[in-house]
Amino acid sequence: MAFKNLKKMFIEEDNESSEDEFYTMSEEEALKEADKTGNKMILLEPRAYSESQQIADHLKNRNSVVVNLKRVTSDQAKRIIDFLSGCIYAIGGSMEKVGVGIYLCTPKNVSVQGKITEDNKKDSNEDEEVEW
């Protein structure tokens, strides 16, 4: 008789779990899940070198980060780029310059395609005026 009770108990548990198969996530739960899987694009404007670790933490959590270095001195910007370069190398990510003082830092799980060229290079025909 104990076997029949045990069998009945498992059948009841299976019926209960089948009801949960169609459970959908709320928006709040989906955002929490995205935090875990690293599906965010973070925009940061550091004001000091000490904020470099925060950027590295976002990269370690598999989030992409756009870093605007226009609010720091050129010496601090160089130190931040050096630090982030080491972090990105360690996690197998990449860094792309997208503008003057603006960098896109991505972890290994994000691929970046395409290039952005700089227009500040002068042509060899400096004497000619170009009308737009």
Of the two residues 52 and 2, the one the predictor is more confident about is 52
Q: What is the mean pLDDT of residues 32-52?
A: 83
pTM over 0.85: no
Percent of the chain residues topping a pLDDT of 70: 61
Query: Which residues constitute the domain of residue 49?
Result: 38-110
Residue 1 lies in a domain: no
- CATH of residue 61's domain is 3.30.110.150
Q: With a cut of 60, say whether residue 113 has pLDDT above it.
A: yes
Structural domains counted in the chain: 1
Residue 121 lies in a domain: no
What is the pLDDT, as a whole number, of residue 131?
Answer: 46
Residue 13 lies in a domain: no
Residue 58 lies in a domain: yes
Q: Give the closest residue to 69 by CA, choosing from 60, 58, 80.
A: 80
Tokens representing 96?
């792309």
What is the pLDDT, as a whole number, of residue 132?
Answer: 37
Residue 48 lies in a domain: yes
Residue 117 lies in a domain: no
Residue 16 lies in a domain: no
Residue 61 lies in a domain: yes
Say if residues 66 and 103 touch (Cβ distance below 8 Å).
yes
Strand order in the sheet with 41-44: 41-44, 64-68, 102-106, 94-99
Q: What is the DSSP string of 24-87?
A: ---HHHHHHHHHHHT--EEEE--SSGGGHHHHHHHHHTT-EEEEE-TTS-HHHHHHHHHHHHHH
